[in-house]
Amino acid sequence: MSHNMLLVFEVTILILAIFLGFEVISKVPTLLHTPLMSGTNAIHGIVLAGAMIVLASGHKGPFAWVIGFLAVVLGSANVVGGFVVTDRMLEMFKKREPAKAADATQDGKSGS
Partner 1 sequence: MSTNLTNLLYLIPIVTFILALRFLSSPAHARRGNQVGAVGMLVAIVVTWVKAGGTSWWALVIAMLIGGGAGAVIARRVKMTAMPQLVALFNGVGGGAAALIALAELHDKLPAPGRPHIDVLVAIALSGLIGAVSFAGSMVAFAKLQELIGGRPITYPGQNVGNIALLAALVAFAVALSAGVQAEWLLWVIVGGSAVFGVLFVLPIGGADMPVVISLLNAFTGLAVAIGGFELQNNVLIVAGMLVGASGTLLTILMGRAMNRSIGNLLFGAFGQVSAEAAAVAAGDGGGTVRSASAEDVAVMLAYAHKVVFVPGYGLAVAQAQHDVRQLADLLEEKGVEVSYAIHPVAGRMPGHMNVLLAEANVPYPQLKEMDEANPEFSRTDVAVVVGANDVVNPDARSNQGSPIYGMPILDVDNAQTVVVLKRSMNPGFAGIENPLFYNPKTVMLFGDAKDSITKLIQDVKVA
Residues between 18 and 37 that touch partner 1 (CB under 8 A): 18, 20-22, 24-37
Does position 108 interact with partner 1 (CB under 8 A)? The reply is no
Closest to 84 measured CA to CA, from 45, 30, 27, 32: 45
Min dist CB 13 to partner 1, Å, is: 6
Handedness of CA 93, 94, 95, 101 (dihedral sign): negative
C-beta of 73 vs 108, nearer to partner 1: 73
Contact predicate 36/24, CB 8 Å: no
Which residues, 31 to 70, sit near partner 1 by CB under 8 A?
31-61, 63-65, 67-70
